[in-house]
Amino acid sequence: MKIEVLGTGCSKCKTLYENTRKALEESGKTAELVKVEDIPSIMKYGVMGTPALVVDGRVVFSGKTASVAEIMGVI
């Protein structure tokens, strides 16, 4: 599984990354966790607001900082 956190480095983006890391840890699942900060790469996903969470190429959250529980529900 590949999980990408899209965002330019704002505090909400950092929080989403941490929440994702915690969700992986708590669920016992393993995944490649990548932070994507460059605008052209973010734009390829068509998201209009960051932070965004992408799981295996599919945008699952956009424009919000998902909680650990919400993330666990989609991984």
Active site residues: 10, 13
CB 5 within 8 A of CB 35: yes
Closest CA to 47 of 62, 36, 31: 62
The H-assigned helical ranges of the chain are 11-27, 39-43, 68-74
